[in-house]
């Protein structure tokens, strides 16, 4: 892409009404349609600049805090790549190593790590009712720190996965769809099947399916949410998604068979998650470190899971989709039958056919994260990006 073409992408931001400056990115449904679109535009702009050999570096120095309260490879790398691309240095807030373990309050820590920080990425999805709450506490402390003149500026908080939403995943997924189908407007009327799938594991978070229905419902898509009885998501998120789907000119169906969801679908997203009520039961057990009860709960849950081994994205199931050619999506890693387990979410041949698509899907995440940071920090993102484009520094001397 030429500089002129990239400049035109940036121009696309001019008409958007944005209120993202000094705000956090926690749930997509707190953002306006303009704000979501701006995020996509900024992500695409940063990607285009990098592809054209131009450095999108915004900062000459500055800290990005990464706070991972759960394991992660891809999100950790996405966050690091995004921050490095913008010129930020990542400093882990490792609660094992740090004095948080010694009883420091969230409020104090939030200020202590933010004197020279621009962004804080938080992944906290273990405890239902906790992750989003914690992220808001951090955001509130930053507001207070800024107001008190303790902080020279306010770092922006990016939700890298909470108990409620996984916006960096869902936004990357939607950007992938937008590129795949030729534009955001092309998503209107497309049917997406967000379906539970069998996995030999237990306790997978709800944030991905919630994030997908919560975001796809903003773009006029026909959403079909499917899962076995008892595998509910957070009821409020389901209700909100249904409402949003209607408002955006799409539809929302809640069914209890994978076949029904897959029928004539343009896109399928078969993925395991734990039942909402099991996740609720886990919270006090995890907090008390009650290993015996956790083991017992896991056993029950796995036994129940085993009743739904036929919730697998097989070739037969794929045949039910539109022309048999729906786009398969997954946040990865998938449980692939006969590859990573004996029975899983997806048949090996299906996954193999879409492997590169799932990788491409994942490749948008660093740019989405970078866009979220930029929009939380710049008063006038179009002007910032235009300035960076005008500067025209090469990303490398190769």
**Per CB under 8 A, does 302 bind a copy of itself?**
no
Backbone CA torsion sign across 136, 137, 142, 145:
positive
> Which residues in 202-265 belong to E strands, given as ranges?
222-226, 251-255
**Per CB under 8 A, does 342 bind a copy of itself?**
no
> Which helix (H) or strand (E) is 120 found in, with range?
strand 117-124
**Per CB under 8 A, does 90 bind a copy of itself?**
yes
**Per CB under 8 A, does 50 bind a copy of itself?**
yes
Q: If we measure between CA atoms, which residue out of 176, 209, 167, 206 comes closest to residue 362?
A: 176
Q: Pick from 18, 80, 192, 371 the residue near a copy of itself by CB under 8 A.
A: 80
Q: Which of residues 113-152 bind a copy of itself (CB under 8 A)?
A: 113, 115-117, 145, 148-152
Distance CA 371, CA 381 (A): 10
Q: Pick from 28, 39, 67, 109 the residue near a copy of itself by CB under 8 A.
A: 109
Using left for φ > 0, alpha for ψ between -120 and 50, and beta otherwise, residue 356 falls in alpha
Distances (CA, A) of 101 to 94, 110, 141, 335: 10, 14, 19, 34
Contact track, a copy of itself, 352-391, x by CB under 8 A: ----x--xx-xx--x----------xxx----x--xx--x
Q: How far is the CB of 86 from a copy of itself (least distance, A)?
A: 8
In the bound state with a copy of itself, the residue whose beta carbon lies nearer, of 14 and 115, is 115
Residues that bind a copy of itself (rule: CB under 8 A) add up to a total of 77
Distance CA 167, CA 26 (A): 7
**Per CB under 8 A, does 105 bind a copy of itself?**
yes
In the bound state with a copy of itself, the residue whose beta carbon lies nearer, of 66 and 217, is 66
Choose the stretch contacting a copy of itself; rule: CB under 8 A; options: 66-74, 159-167, 252-260, 261-269: 66-74
**Per CB under 8 A, does 111 bind a copy of itself?**
yes
Q: Which of residues 186-215 bind a copy of itself (CB under 8 A)?
A: none
In the bound state with a copy of itself, the residue whose beta carbon lies nearer, of 230 and 392, is 392
**Per CB under 8 A, does 395 bind a copy of itself?**
yes
Choose the stretch contacting a copy of itself; rule: CB under 8 A; options: 82-90, 162-170, 186-194, 246-254: 82-90
**Per CB under 8 A, does 349 bind a copy of itself?**
no
What tokens does 16 get?
């958007």
Q: If we measure between CA atoms, which residue out of 161, 166, 275, 160 comes closest to residue 215?
A: 166
Q: Pick from 81, 251, 256, 257 the residue near a copy of itself by CB under 8 A.
A: 81
**Per CB under 8 A, does 316 bind a copy of itself?**
no
**Residue 320, Cα to own-chain centre: how many angstroms?**
28
Q: Pick from 6, 36, 63, 206 the residue near a copy of itself by CB under 8 A.
A: 63
What tokens does 245 get?
């789907």
Contact 177, 218 (CB under 8 A): no
Q: How far is the CB of 359 from a copy of itself (least distance, A)?
A: 4
What tokens does 189 get?
């009327």
Contact 34, 41 (CB under 8 A): no
Choose the stretch contacting a copy of itself; rule: CB under 8 A; options: 29-37, 65-73, 127-135, 298-306: 65-73
Mutual orientation of helices 33-51 and 3-11 as an angle, nearest 10°? 170
Q: How far is the CB of 203 from a copy of itself (least distance, A)?
A: 12
**Per CB under 8 A, does 289 bind a copy of itself?**
no
Distance CA 155, CA 166 (A): 20
What tokens does 324 get?
């048999």
Distance CA 316, CA 309 (A): 15
């Amino acid at each position: 892409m030429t500089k002129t073409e990239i400049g035109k992408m940036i121009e696309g931001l001019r008409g958007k009404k944005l209120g993202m400056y000094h705000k956090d990115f926690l749930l997509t449904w707190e953002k306006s349609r303009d704000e979501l679109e701006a995020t996509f535009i900024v992500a695409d702009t940063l990607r285009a600049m990098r592809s054209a050999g131009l450095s999108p570096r915004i900062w000459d120095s500055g800290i990005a805090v990464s706070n991972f309260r759960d394991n992660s490879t891809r999100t950790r790398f996405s966050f690091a790549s995004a921050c490095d691309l913008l010129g930020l240095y990542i400093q882990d807030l490792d609660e094992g190593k740090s004095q948080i373990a010694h009883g420091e309050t969230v409020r104090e820590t939030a200020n202590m790590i933010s004197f020279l920080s621009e962004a804080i990425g938080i992944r906290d999805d273990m405890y239902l009712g906790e992750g989003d709450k914690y992220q808001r506490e951090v955001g509130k402390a930053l507001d207070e720190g800024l107001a008190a003149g303790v902080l020279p500026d306010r770092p922006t908080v990016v939700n890298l996965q909470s108990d409620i939403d996984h916006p960096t995943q869902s936004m990357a997924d939607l950007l992938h769809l937008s590129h795949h189908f030729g534009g955001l407007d092309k998503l209107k009327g497309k049917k997406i099947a967000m379906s539970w799938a069998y996995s030999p594991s237990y306790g997978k978070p709800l944030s991905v399916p919630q994030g997908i229905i919560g975001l796809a419902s903003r773009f006029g898509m026909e959403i079909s949410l499917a899962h076995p009885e008892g595998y509910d998501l957070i009821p409020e998120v389901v209700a909100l998604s249904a409402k949003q789907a209607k408002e955006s000119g799409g539809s929302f169906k809640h069914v209890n068979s994978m076949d029904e969801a897959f029928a004539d679908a343009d896109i399928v997203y078969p993925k395991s998650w734990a039942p909402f009520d099991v996740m609720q039961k886990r919270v006090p057990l995890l907090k008390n470190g009650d290993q015996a009860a956790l083991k017992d709960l896991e056993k029950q849950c796995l036994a129940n899971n085993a009743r739904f081994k036929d919730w697998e994205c097989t070739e037969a199931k794929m045949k039910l989709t539109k022309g048999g050619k729906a786009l398969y999506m997954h946040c990865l890693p998938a449980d692939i039958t006969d590859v990573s387990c004996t029975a899983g979410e997806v048949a090996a041949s299906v996954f193999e056919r879409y492997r590169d698509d799932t990788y491409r899907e994942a490749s948008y995440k660093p740019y989405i994260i970078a866009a979220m940071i930029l929009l939380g920090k710049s008063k006038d993102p179009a002007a910032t990006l235009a300035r960076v484009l005008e500067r025209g520094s090469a990303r490398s001397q190769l």
